[in-house]
Amino acid sequence: MGKFTEDDLKKELETKEYEYGFYTDIESDTFPIGLNEEVVRAISMKKEEPEWMTQWRLEAFEHWKQMVEPEWANVNYVKPDFQAISYYSAPSKKPKYNSIDEVDPELLDTFNRLGISLEEQKKLAGVAVDIVMDSVSVATTFKSTLAEKGIIFCSISEAIKEHPELVKKYIGSVVPQRDNFYAALNSAVFSDGSFCYIPKGVRCPMELSTYFRINQAGTGQFERTLVIADEDSYVSYLEGCTAPSRDENQLHAAVVELIALDGAEIKYSTVQNWYPGGKDGKGGVYNFVTKRGLCEKNAKISWTQVETGSAITWKYPSCILKGDNSIGEFYSIAVTNNFQQADTGTKMIHLGKNTRSTIISKGISAGKSQNSYRGLVKIGPRAKNARNFSQCDSLLMGNECGAHTFPYIEVSNKTAQIEHEATTSKIGEDQIFYCNQRGIDTEKAIALIVNGFSKEVLNKLPMEFAVEAQKLLEISLEGSVG
Amino acid sequence: MSLKDKLLSSYIAFEDHLEEDSPIHDIRNEAIKVFEAEGFPTKKLEAWKYTSLNSLLKENYSIFPKQDHSLEFKQVKKYFLHDVDTYKVVFVDGVYSSFLSETTHDKIDVCLLSAALNKPKYKPVIEAYFNKAAKQDSLSSLNTAFAKEGAYVFIPNHKEVEKPIEIINFSTGNEAAIMLQPRNLIVVGENSHVQIIERHQSLSGNAVFTNSVTEIFAEKRAYVDYYKIQNDNTNASLIDNTNIWQEQESNCRVHTFSFGGKLTRNNLNFYQKGERCDSTLKGITILEDKQHVDHNTLVHHIEPNCESHQDYKGIFGDASTGVFNGKVVVEKEAQKTDAFQQNNNILIHDKATINAKPQLEIFADDVKCSHGCTIGQLDEEALFYMRSRGIAKKEARALLMYAFANNVLESVKIPELKVRINKLIANKIGVRLGFEL
């Protein structure tokens, strides 16, 4: 084999096709396209929701109607036509399965091809999977183990029915209905999602995870996730995404709310690999997500994300550090290729005393993609001794892509200590030369450098997920990552 | 009547006074249209997110001051760099003061923009440069529409200007509130060197609103060293728009010292139009009371092998607000760019606020770009160390602040100016130190 140069890598990045593009044919129970009050009511009815929930959705819909789509992000795209989307789609074989054998074999096959077979998952070290296939959860494993500890882990529609007091108290408390355009839309039409409650003092014995998939043509996916960690509890939550190849743009507007009460800790990890669009920039998923966590006293929320997919990403997992001594963390790798555009980052809002936050963001852009980091660090006047460290590094491959950083730093307390640094670079010729000199060939050298570049974030992923994250990075950077 | 309406109607009167065939007649008309369409910037604009002009726009400014404003030299002596010989271009309430100025036409031109605009001799220069670098945003356009007076500096090729040029704008306070719109044009020819010091000074407590535009053109291998001293009264506000065009291998340095004023906004834009340019942007900001300073910088790397260095230090006391919005754009063609940006801030009072937004927009892969931004306090341990050695708290704090700002001060190339700024800082911190930096 000849020398593997950066040009080869570039070429590979450009020609690499989306591996997970296939379409499962399952009879769907799909609503006609369009959005109005009736549709919102119908969704609510379909989910057999109580009246307060229907009202809540309608309120959100009222707000949404008055809002305009935000345009400040550093991305260009054809705006979705919200009246051309079907707002509900569910696999039609609705009854819940008790064991894996009852699940539609075609569906199982889908998961197998994604490399997340339930059997394997079951055998693997204690991962409970709540699979969301086109908005309705069809399988929940390890539920009994969790129930013993008093942990509630179910779909949000189930939670609305069975734990209304919890849902009513916390839903919209971190991301209000009128927070932003997409959050309002989500609040009005969310179809399903996950709900998780960890009781006081309980340490969740396993990593909780859900897999999302957009499947039905022309359906937007509106997930709603609510994670509540009660006092002194701990939970690690995983979320992973892949979506089939499709030419028309698909909209994904999820909302994730995390609540960490006094002394609790939530670790939320995401691997996102929605269909990024073809080499010519056609198609791909629009990912407009609102993720936010609230930290009470001594609580900690940690976001880790590996973003390799989606045509457009618009995502800012944030922490509101309300309680004293609370901690917020954000670790991110964003890889963009071809015509992908990502505008992602975080917000750390320091309100309590002695609050700390860390931001590590790594952007890798190749092809004709644009990769932006946009972050806010805000120190309120009462946040004494707040501490923040931010680091944003970008790696550029080729001169047709772009890397951008837009950090906002707002400080109104003199005791705050803020550090921000950003660098942009390419894989240096001298770095490769150094490796060559020591007998490491160019291919391995690139692998080494890219790996080293993203290591800080990869290390933060839970074991089970790190493997998958590596896999996804390989899709974009195959041949260079060992 | 809002200030915008007042400006628009005064423009009609202003335009009547000017000769129709003035070369910039059309430029003015275009510019006022831009201002009419856009108006004053509001906080809704991303570039003005942290700075509101509302408090300025309420005043009833006189736009065309009366003619008879004169000053005695001894009244204003302290604002000049008197211990060194300089060229001086001095304006009092926007009107040229020949008595206080010292201009030249000997080989180089250091004179008035009004003369340059009206005399046919200067026509080629005006046509080639005037309004070519200025941004076409609403405030710059407003200035362009009313552009009448300011400094005109033309240095031909291969000429080293032997003494610095001082450009000073005084406002006397004879008007209750005054709006000034000075317009400077500086053209530096190939291989030429020039040093310029710019100052805006109000002599009374009356409100002054200055909307200044400076265009600087640095031809090949030109060297421009520009210092801005902003130490004005608490009722004086300044919006400074400085645009610099750099040709191949030119070197431009701008130092901004912001110690005063009610509201100061510095729009400093560098455009590197040739290869191997070098740009330096440095600043020290020391604020107290309710002062507000907003540094908005842009370095646009268009050609390969260029460098830029930014270093802004800020010390914020009382209820002052500091804004730093630094943007570095590296175009696709600008390979091998080396861009560095540094912004350090110290907050010394609880009510002080700092908003920083250091931005990078990079489209080329073979570049070295980095920025750093810190916000913190004086090091308690260093303070303790000094106090344990008998240095009083106040002096110890002052020492640390000096050390903090010293990086920027060190690169001031005019020794007399360095001493002057040193004194300003000492005065601002309220101590006398037994040494000169």
Reported as a single tens digit per residue, the pLDDT across B316-326 is 988 899 999 99
Can you tell me the ipTM of this complex? 0.77
Helix (H) or strand (E) holding B294: strand B292-301
Mind telling me how many Å the CA of B345 is from chain A's nearest CA? 9
* Closest residue to A423, CB basis, from B350, B357, B369: B369
Within 8 A by CB and 6+ apart from A396, the residues are A365, A402, A403, A424, A425, A426, B362, B364, B365, B367
In a domain, B22, yes or no: yes
User: Crossing angle for the helix pair B3-17 and B25-38, nearest 10 degrees?
Assistant: 170
Q: What is the pLDDT of residue A361?
A: 92
A-B contacts (CB, under 8 Å): 115
Query: What are B14's strand-pairing partners?
Result: none
Instruction: Please report residues of A whose CB lies closer than 8 A to that of B345.
Output: 411
B45 and chain A in contact, CB less than 8 A:
no
Asked if B362's CB is within 8 angstroms of A414's CB, the reply is: no
Residue A305 pLDDT exceeds 80:
yes
Asked if B366's CB is within 8 angstroms of A399's CB, the reply is: yes
Interface mutation target, options B331, B342, B360, chain A, most CBs of A under 10 Å: B360
Residue A126 pLDDT exceeds 50:
no
Residue A447 pLDDT exceeds 80:
no
Scanning the structure block, which residue is given the tokens 């609305």?
A160
Helix (H) or strand (E) holding A10: helix A6-15
Asked if B350's CB is within 8 angstroms of A421's CB, the reply is: no
Dmax (CA) for chain A in angstroms is: 71
Asked if A403's CB is within 8 angstroms of B360's CB, the reply is: yes
CB B199 within 8 A of CB B167: yes
Q: What is the pLDDT of residue A200?
A: 92
In a domain, A482, yes or no: no
State how far Cα A125 lies from the chain centre. 23
CA distance readout (Å), A462 to A4, A319, A469, B29: 32, 20, 10, 64
d(CA B367, CA A96): 56
A408 and chain B in contact, CB less than 8 A:
yes
Mind telling me how many Å the CA of A482 is from chain B's nearest CA? 23
Residue B306 pLDDT exceeds 60:
yes
* Closest residue to A421, CB basis, from B349, B351, B371: B371
Residue B437 pLDDT exceeds 80:
no
* Closest residue to A413, CB basis, from B345, B350, B365: B350
A72 and chain B in contact, CB less than 8 A:
yes
* Closest residue to B353, CB basis, from A396, A411, A417: A411
Asked if B367's CB is within 8 angstroms of A424's CB, the reply is: yes
Could you tell me the pLDDT band of residue A138, with boundaries at 50, 70 and 90? very low
CA distance readout (Å), A268 to A175, A209, A328, B218: 16, 10, 11, 53
Residue A46 pLDDT exceeds 50:
yes
d(CA B144, CA B124): 18
Q: What is the pLDDT of residue A461?
A: 78
Mean pLDDT of chain B: 87
CB A298 within 8 A of CB A263: yes
Residue B95 pLDDT exceeds 80:
yes
A285-295 and A250-252 strand pairing: parallel
Helix (H) or strand (E) holding B8: helix B3-17
Scanning the structure block, which residue is given the tokens 């669009």?
A277
A289 and chain B in contact, CB less than 8 A:
no
Asked if B359's CB is within 8 angstroms of A420's CB, the reply is: no
Could you tell me the pLDDT band of residue A368, with boundaries at 50, 70 and 90? confident
Q: Mapping DSSP to helix (H, G, I), strand (E, B) and coil, where does residue B195 land?
A: strand
Residue A477 pLDDT exceeds 80:
no
In a domain, B282, yes or no: no
In a domain, B94, yes or no: yes
What percent of chain B is predicted at pLDDT more than 70? 96
* Residue A206: how many other CB atoms lie within 10 Å: 17
Scanning the structure block, which residue is given the tokens 């179809």?
A191
- Structural domain total, chain B: 2
Instruction: Please report residues of A whose CB lies closer than 8 A to that of B367.
Output: 396, 424-426
Mind telling me how many Å the CA of B4 is from chain A's nearest CA? 27
Q: What is the pLDDT of residue A421?
A: 86
- A251 vs A200, residue with greater confidence: A200
- To the nearest 10°, the Cα dihedral for A411, A413, A415, A418? -10
In a domain, B411, yes or no: yes
Instruction: Please report residues of B whose CB lies closer than 8 A to that of A419.
Output: 372-374
d(CA A293, CA A237): 13
CB A341 within 8 A of CB A77: yes
In a domain, B37, yes or no: yes
DSSP symbols for A150-164:
T-EEEEHHHHHHH-H
Scanning the structure block, which residue is given the tokens 């002599």?
B203
- Among B245, B274, B303, the domain boundary falls at B274
CA distance readout (Å), B421 to B166, B256, B268, B365, B414: 15, 11, 21, 40, 11
d(CA A150, CA B264): 59
B42 and chain A in contact, CB less than 8 A:
no
What percent of chain A is predicted at pLDDT more than 90? 20
CB B256 within 8 A of CB B287: no
Helix (H) or strand (E) holding A229: strand A224-229
CB A359 within 8 A of CB A377: yes
Same domain assignment for residues B251 and B388: no
Asked if A421's CB is within 8 angstroms of B359's CB, the reply is: no
CA distance readout (Å), A131 to A102, A194, A239, B97, B102: 14, 9, 10, 80, 81
Mind telling me how many Å the CA of A318 is from chain B's nearest CA? 18
Mean pLDDT of chain A: 77
Helix (H) or strand (E) holding B387: helix B380-388
The pTM assigned to this predicted structure is 0.81
Q: What is the pLDDT of residue A23?
A: 52
Could you tell me the pLDDT band of residue B246, with boundaries at 50, 70 and 90? very high
* Closest residue to B375, CB basis, from A397, A401, A417: A417
d(CA B288, CA B164): 30
A327-336 and A347-350 strand pairing: unpaired
Instruction: Please report residues of B whose CB lies closer than 8 A to that of A403.
Output: 360, 362
Could you tell me the pLDDT band of residue A7, with boundaries at 50, 70 and 90? low
- Among B274, B308, B323, the domain boundary falls at B274
Residue B114 pLDDT exceeds 60:
yes
Mean pLDDT of A196-200: 92
* Closest residue to B357, CB basis, from A404, A407, A417: A407
Most confident of A144-153, A439-448, B133-142: B133-142
The predicted-structure confidence for A70-99, as pLDDT tens digits, reads as follows 888 778 777 777 777 777 765 544 344 445
Q: What is the pLDDT of residue A242?
A: 53
Mind telling me how many Å the CA of A389 is from chain B's nearest CA? 9
Instruction: Please report residues of B whose CB lies closer than 8 A to that of A420.
Output: 356, 358, 371-374
Could you tell me the pLDDT band of residue A324, with boundaries at 50, 70 and 90? very high
Asked if B365's CB is within 8 angstroms of A426's CB, the reply is: yes
Mind telling me how many Å the CA of B361 is from chain A's nearest CA? 4
Same domain assignment for residues B29 and B175: yes
A420 and chain B in contact, CB less than 8 A:
yes
Q: What is the pLDDT of residue A414?
A: 86
Interface mutation target, options B336, B365, B368, B378, chain A, most CBs of A under 10 Å: B365
Within 8 A by CB and 6+ apart from A350, the residues are A321, A357, A377, A378, A379, A380, A383, A386, A388, A416
| Window 315-354 of B, Cβ < 8 Å to A | 332, 335, 345, 347-354
Instruction: Please report residues of B whose CB lies closer than 8 A to that of A389.
Output: none
Closest by CA to A85, choosing from A252, A283, A287, is A252
Scanning the structure block, which residue is given the tokens 């969790």?
A146
Range name among A141-155, B133-147, B323-337, B416-430 with the lowest pLDDT average: A141-155
B43 and chain A in contact, CB less than 8 A:
no
Helix (H) or strand (E) holding A451: helix A442-458
Interface mutation target, options A353, A417, A424, chain B, most CBs of B under 10 Å: A424
CB A364 within 8 A of CB A333: yes
Instruction: Please report residues of B whose CB lies closer than 8 A to that of A417.
Output: 374-377
B47 and chain A in contact, CB less than 8 A:
no
Tokens of B64: 């065309």
In a domain, A1, yes or no: no
Could you tell me the pLDDT band of residue A104, with boundaries at 50, 70 and 90? low
Tell me the Ramachandran region of residue B162: left when phi exceeds 0, alpha when psi lies from -120 to 50, beta otherwise: alpha
CB B154 within 8 A of CB B128: no
Range name among A214-218, B17-21, B343-347 with the lowest pLDDT average: A214-218
DSSP state of B79: G
Q: What is the pLDDT of residue B266?
A: 93
Closest by CA to A414, choosing from B353, B350, B375, is B350
Asked if A402's CB is within 8 angstroms of B370's CB, the reply is: no
Instruction: Please report residues of B whose CB lies closer than 8 A to that of A405.
Output: 358-360, 371
The predicted-structure confidence for B136-156, as pLDDT tens digits, reads as follows 888 999 998 888 889 999 999
In a domain, B186, yes or no: yes
What percent of chain A is predicted at pLDDT more than 70? 73
Query: What are A28's strand-pairing partners?
Result: A91
Nearest-by-CA chain B residue for A378 = B355
Q: What is the pLDDT of residue A247?
A: 46
Asked if A397's CB is within 8 angstroms of B377's CB, the reply is: no
A136-140 and A127-133 strand pairing: antiparallel
Mind telling me how many Å the CA of B305 is from chain A's nearest CA? 15
CA distance readout (Å), B76 to A472, B72, B235: 69, 7, 18
Range name among A145-154, A472-481, B389-398 with the lowest pLDDT average: A472-481
Same domain assignment for residues B140 and B259: yes
Letter string b/e over residues A461-479, b meaning 16 or more CB atoms within 10 A of that residue's CB: bbebbbebbbebbbbbbeb
A224-229 and A356-365 strand pairing: unpaired
Domain of B120 in residue numbering reads as 3-274
Mind telling me how many Å the CA of A196 is from chain B's nearest CA? 37
Query: What are B177's strand-pairing partners?
Result: B207
In a domain, A170, yes or no: yes
Instruction: Please report residues of B whose CB lies closer than 8 A to that of A412.
Output: 351-353
E strands, A345-464, where? 347-350, 356-365, 370-379, 387-396, 402-411, 417-425
Distance in angstroms between the alpha carbons of the first and the last residue of chain B: 50
Q: What is the pLDDT of residue B190?
A: 92
- Structural domain total, chain A: 1
Instruction: Please report residues of A whose CB lies closer than 8 A to that of B340.
Output: none
Instruction: Please report residues of B whose CB lies closer than 8 A to that of A361.
Output: none
Asked if A72's CB is within 8 angstroms of B46's CB, the reply is: yes
- Among B257, B274, B291, the domain boundary falls at B274
CB A473 within 8 A of CB A454: yes
Instruction: Please report residues of B whose CB lies closer than 8 A to that of A381.
Output: 350-351
